[in-house]
Amino acid sequence: MGLEFYTSKLGDAVNWARKYSLFQYPFVTACCGMEFMALWGPKYDVARFGAEFPRFSPRQADLLIIVGTITERQGPVLRRVYEQMCEPKWTVAFGVCASTGGFYQNYSVMPGADQCIPIDVYIPGCPPRPEQVLDALQLLQDKIQKGEGYIQKRERAEHEAVKAGKLKVVG
Ligand code: SF4
């Protein structure tokens, strides 16, 4: 009982550190990029949330922000970027195009980035206002603190499966 209490508190502290040290990789493809740049200016000051450093290598990032339309041909590239990122990692779909394909209802546009990778938070709007993005960032931070990100839930499920003997660790 004592040990369980200790590990849950350690998990809370680790999640607290994770949510205030997000290193984002912007995957920018279209016009939402202009609004995305506005967010990083001094007026909205995203540094207050510990998420101000963009990283242009997925291997150094843990937050993937998909900004703009994703075409079917870009899907495999987005998937590869996601797979190269460190774990645990989180994803945000920025704007209606990244969330649902937006008004591009045609054969070449993917109806949302969640067709090829899991998404933790969706931001509506065409383009979204910076205030909406800050709201989404705080929502993501809440999820990280509670361990409700997609990867965190998957890790927990795998851990439970190993404990129950339903899954074997190889290597
Ligand atoms: S949501 Fe609107 S602003 Fe953003 S990429 Fe789509 S069309 Fe452009």
Number of H helices, E strands in the chain: 6, 5
Higher-confidence position of 165 and 169: 165
Q: What is the pLDDT of residue 46?
A: 87
Residue 137: count of CB within 10 angstroms of its CB: 24
Q: Which residues pair with 65 in a beta bridge?
A: 26, 92
Q: What is the pLDDT of residue 40?
A: 81
The CA distance from 55 to 26, in Å, is 8
pLDDT band of residue 6 (cuts 50, 70, 90) is low
The answer to whether residue 131 scores a pLDDT higher than 60 is yes
Q: What is the pLDDT of residue 73?
A: 95
Q: What is the pLDDT of residue 169?
A: 72
Write the residue with the smallest CA distance to atom 4 of ligand 1.
32
- Which of 28, 29, 32, 105 has most ligand 1 atoms within 8 Å of its beta carbon, as the pocket-test mutant? 32
Largest CA distance in the chain: 57
pLDDT band of residue 164 (cuts 50, 70, 90) is confident
CA-CA distances (angstroms) from residue 52 to 8, 44, 55, 139? 29, 11, 10, 16
Instruction: List the domain boundaries for the chain.
Output: 10-163
Q: What is the pLDDT of residue 146?
A: 94
User: Residue 99's closest CA among 131, 142, 132?
Assistant: 132
CATH of domain 10-163: 3.40.50.12280
SS3 (DSSP) at 34: helix
Packed helices 130-146 and 32-39: angle between N→C axes, nearest 10 degrees: 70
Closest ligand 1 atom to 68 CA = 5
Residues with CB under 6 A from ligand 1: 30-32, 68-69, 95-97, 102, 126-127
Q: What is the pLDDT of residues 48-85, one digit of tens each?
A: 888 878 888 999 999 999 999 999 999 999 999 999 99
The answer to whether residue 2 scores a pLDDT higher than 80 is no
Q: What is the pLDDT of residues 76-128, one digit of tens each?
A: 999 999 999 989 999 999 999 999 999 898 999 999 999 999 999 999 999 99
Distance 151 CA to ligand 1 centre (A): 27
| Average pLDDT for 3-19 | 80
Q: What is the pLDDT of residue 7?
A: 63
Closest ligand 1 atom to 32 CA = 4
Contacts of 40 by beta carbon, 8 Å cutoff, 6+ apart:
46, 52, 54
Write the residue with the smallest CA distance to atom 7 of ligand 1.
126
Distance 39 CA to ligand 1 centre (A): 15
